[in-house]
Amino acid sequence: MQKKQKCCSDDDFKKAAIRAIEFKSEIERKIEFYQNNSLLTKISMSIGGISKMKRQGFHVAIRPSHYISCILPFSKPHCSLNDMQPAFADPYLTIRGNFQIYSQHGTKEELAEIERLNNITASYVMNNNQPHYDLARYCTIDGFPFFIPLEGKNRVDLFRRHSQSIHAMVTATEYPRPHELCIIKTQPFSLYYLHHKNKQGVNVEPLAFPSVSIPILKCYGVHECGFTPLWLRSYLEWRRSRNRVTSSQMRS
């Protein structure tokens, strides 16, 4: 595991991560109430790359893996049965969805459900069974405090309500080192890109939501490295990146 170049305290890093997690819910609410907005607001959302709701009458849930790939370009969230290790995930640092809602019941019933879900992971570890469909399969990104669910279930709110850790099988994934990255700002409209340079070459990806990406990247140790003129292509890439993630909606 690479050593992070600390540019902020662990508490500040966690706060930036939690803010990014909360921001996902804000985007989902915007999409969910798209039809209730004025025509002008709808046009503004479209120009800004915010997709409309795919299926009316359902909750909107952006796929956590697609969301983190948007917030942290060059990340590759995935799950590997061969590399998974048991770990306890902090539910407040876990990117939630609202695809499957565990309804609120009495405390006794909810604690029993938490025990059942955590026992699925414990049983998998002890017996090396085939993965249960309710097995919590997460990944982490080296150097960042996130847990990213990959199994399509949502138990985060349930565990948050009772301040319980989620027993999960976790795949550790890599991320470029801070010195390989830099943040580029375009002028005059202040769009941002993440520049990645290593032995394999140079890649540049738009930061679709810089208000949450930049604080996290700076805590990780990434610096801004200059300005570049804004071209039409830059705007279109930025808009496409936002549209791609907001249209990645899970279906019940």
CATH, residue 131: 3.90.1530
Taking the C-alpha atoms of residue 210 and residue 185, their distance in angstroms, rounded to an integer, is 10
Over residues 10-26, the mean pLDDT reads: 93
User: Which of 174, 195, 223 lies at the terminal end of a domain, its last residue?
Assistant: 174
Residues 57 and 181 occupy one common structural domain:
yes
Residues 240 and 211 occupy one common structural domain:
yes
pLDDT tens-digit readout, 166-195: 999 999 999 999 999 999 988 767 789 999
Residues 144 and 181 occupy one common structural domain:
no
Domains: count for the chain: 2
Closest CA to 111 of 163, 169, 168, 152: 163
Confidence of residue 1 (pLDDT cuts 50, 70, 90): very low
pLDDT tens-digit readout, 78-92: 988 889 999 999 999
Name all contacts of 129-133 with Cβ < 8 Å and 24+ positions apart: 131/81, 131/169
SS3 letters for 18-29?
HHHHHHHHHHHH
38, 88, 105 from 92: Cα distances, Å: 34, 12, 21
User: Which of 158, 174, 190 lies at the terminal end of a domain, its last residue?
Assistant: 174
Domain enclosing residue 19, as ranges:
1-61+176-245
pLDDT at 73: 95
State the pTM of this model: 0.84
Residues 55 and 98 occupy one common structural domain:
no
User: Which of 155, 174, 193 lies at the terminal end of a domain, its last residue?
Assistant: 174
User: Is the preceding omega at residue 188 within 30 degrees of 0, hence cis?
Assistant: yes
Confidence of residue 199 (pLDDT cuts 50, 70, 90): confident
- Amino acid symbol at 112: A
Strand 223-229 relative to strand 148-149: parallel, antiparallel, unpaired?
unpaired
